[in-house]
Amino acid sequence: MVVIRLRRAGSKKRPFFRVVVTDSRTARDSSFVEILGHYNPRSRPAVVQVDKERVDYWLKKGAQPSDSVRTLIARHLTPAPAPAAAAPAAAGAK
């Protein structure tokens, strides 16, 4: 099965993650199919850069995102909701 998960990079005590597509049987830091983006949790605010089109492509192909990738996508890649339209004033209100 193909999964979308985080691959750790960076130095000791300074983690940096790449969002990758890989086979579920491979080790966390071994080979991968494609790099979709990166995530830096140490910067404030956290930096998440992911190619949304490629994520959608792999999800349609049946790739399963890990829990952490699913959370990143939900928090950082979904568009902000449009502001609600102001309700028109009641015509007969006095």
| Domain residue limits at 58 | 2-77
How much is the pLDDT for 87?
A: 57
pLDDT digits (tens, 9 = 90+) for 19-63: 999 988 888 878 888 999 999 989 888 888 888 899 999 999 999
CB atoms within 10 A of CB 9: 13
**Is 65 part of a structural domain of the chain?**
yes
Please state the domain count of the chain.
1
pLDDT digits (tens, 9 = 90+) for 45-55: 888 888 889 99
Residues 81, 31: Cα–Cα separation, whole Å: 37
**Is 34 part of a structural domain of the chain?**
yes
**Is 8 part of a structural domain of the chain?**
yes
Which pTM does this prediction carry?
0.74
How much is the pLDDT for 12?
A: 92
Q: Cβ neighbours of residue 35 under 8 Å, at least 6 residues apart?
A: 18, 19, 20
The pair of three-digit structure tokens given for residue 73, joined into one six-digit string: 């996508």
We report the CATH number of the domain holding residue 50 as: 3.30.1320.10
**Is 46 part of a structural domain of the chain?**
yes
**Is 59 part of a structural domain of the chain?**
yes
**Is 17 part of a structural domain of the chain?**
yes
Cα angle at 57 between 68 and 29, to 5 degrees? 45
